Amino acid sequence: MFRHVPNLLTTGRLLLAGVFFALLSYYQYEGRGAPSLLNIAFIVYCVALITDFLDGYLARKWKVESRFGRVVDPFVDKVLVIGSFIFFAGKNFIIPETAPEGHMGVVKTISGVVPFMVVIILARELLVTSFRGLGESSGQAFGAAFSGKLKMVVQSVTILVILLYVNYFYRFEKGSPAEHYARVFRDVCIWVTIGITIYSGVSYVRRAVAMFRAEPRPGDLSTGGPAGVSAGVPS
């Protein structure tokens, strides 16, 4: 019975991701959807983070790690993070601004997230997933590194900070000290996220290069003898 609980938690987190994205889809800054939707989204994301911790903790505690969990757990994490940043850079979070006559308006998002940031996050995830697939297909473990876990934590904190900033943005007078410091804190979180995402990607690239260099070439034997000759065995 216990062996299925971590997998059920992982599946539940995927369902929570669907609810979270539905809330972000319906919300629109200065448009449809009450700001309370983001309060609900904030709670849903926090619950998802708790299940993310619990499924891994319980799987290790009860020694019921499974292939399903190894594949689906990081998949759900990526869906939550990448999906969140895609929504934050989308039309629902655009600040409507009227440009002076004869000038082109600059499109900004209240979330502070822009498309190139999403591209960086997505590129890192695709790259690491590719390396992990290549490593495991050749029989070499390519599990999560500390930088990868740190990246997930920072990204999740940033998502929660953005939700809070967007939801309570209207309470601050534009340009007031409270609004200024809140916006600076939001931007710092975003740029720290981008920096750690890049650092994590570079770390995995170096790890993958070392792993592939250590792979025996065709004809080489693990004993270290000449190609085609097995040490201790007549040729």
pLDDT at residue 59, as a whole number: 86
Average pLDDT over residues 184-198: 97
Average pLDDT, stretch 147-154?
Answer: 92
Q: How do residues 158-169 score in pLDDT, each as one tens digit?
A: 999 999 999 888
In angstroms, rounded to a whole number, what is the distance separating the alpha carbons of residues 118 and 87? 10
Give the mean pLDDT of 75-79: 94
**What whole-number distance in Å separates Cα of residue 152 and Cα of residue 101?**
44
pLDDT digits 0-9 by tens, 208-231: 888 878 766 555 544 444 444 444
pLDDT, mean of residues 132-155 = 81
Least confident piece of the model among 102-106, 202-206, 208-212: 102-106
Dihedrals phi, psi of 104, to nearest 5 degrees: -85, 135
Question: What distances in angstroms separate CA 33 from CA 22, 86, 103, one per listed residue?
Answer: 11, 19, 31
Among 116-130, 163-177, 199-213, the range with the most confident prediction by mean pLDDT is 116-130
Long-range contacts of 88-92 (CB under 8 A, 24+ apart): 88/112, 88/113, 88/159, 88/162, 89/113, 89/114, 89/115, 89/117, 89/118, 91/28, 92/24, 92/25, 92/27, 92/28, 92/29, 92/31
- The winner for highest mean pLDDT among 119-133, 161-175, 220-234 is 119-133
Tell me, which fold does domain 2-214 have in CATH? Four Helix Bundle (Hemerythrin (Met), subunit A) (1.20.120)
